[in-house]
Amino acid sequence: MKIIALLGATALITSTASATFTGWSVSVSQGVLVAGSLSGEHRDIYSVYANFNNSTDVVLNVFDFGRAVTAIQGNQILSGRTGSMQAVHNDNMMGNLDIDGDGINDVYGSLGSWEASNGTQSATQALTDSYVTMQGINLAWGTAMDPSFSTPYGSHADEIAMQLPDGSWINKNAGWYDATPGTPNVVGATQKVKLMQISRVAGNYADFAANITMGYKASGTTTALWGYGSFAIPTPGAIALLGLASAFGRRRRV
């Protein structure tokens, strides 16, 4: 398994700071083995974070995922989203895929749910699942999807905010929020909050980028603040080049 943090790469991640929000970042764990996979299926796991410079900020919600905008507020992309998300899931056990053609399904629940706390999966299965979250990676997320997230289950759960050929949309302007307001969602010592995890079949070569808007506040206040921008997940080839550049950079410093 290879873990790479994609931080400060302006070609991949764009944002502008709003108050103490400093932008989005994406990290990837490559080649993670899917628990229970009979043929040794591996996935690339992308984690999307909101970053801050104040450990007492409180994240409230995320919304307008993939919304197309004409007035740029934070280096958002005009189309709202580009490329193919191609997320796979471990819950709901729908749409299993036989990737290697051996007659055994080895990608489970590829058409499952974006819910994080689905009771059908274990903590181990969650490590290679796709989900939205406000509270990290465990089975007590307390994350809820807003009404714009109209199809949390079903045949297009591998995409968010996607327009179909007939003109209809899947989860247009979708959002999610902390459903347990009694538990303050404070940024904390890491000064970042994980907002979603995108699990893809290892070696998938599609780029994907999407706009995202976040609401948050300073601890002890009631004034909502807003963070805007786009995040992107690159192709494995781009990740490899990034890792190679880092390796050369380390050699120069020796």
Q: Are 196 and 126 in contact (CB under 8 A)?
A: no
Q: Which pLDDT score is estimated for 50?
A: 93
Tell me the backbone φ, ψ of residue 175, rounded to 5 degrees: -150, 170
Q: How far apart are CA 5 and CA 8, in angstroms?
A: 9
What is the CA angle 196-200-204, rounded to 5?
135
Mean pLDDT of the region 225-240: 81
In the structure, what pLDDT confidence band is assigned to residue 229 with cuts at 50, 70 and 90? very high
If you compute the radius of gyration of the chain from its CA atoms, what whole number of angstroms results? Answer: 18
Beta strands 174-178 and 42-52 are unpaired
Higher-pLDDT residue of 110 and 252 is 110
The structural domains of the chain, with segments of one domain joined by +, span 2-253
For CA atoms 16, 83, 153, 30, give the dihedral sign: negative
The pLDDT mean for the chain works out to 76
Q: Is the predicted pLDDT of residue 18 greater than 50, yes or no?
A: no
Whole-structure pTM value: 0.82
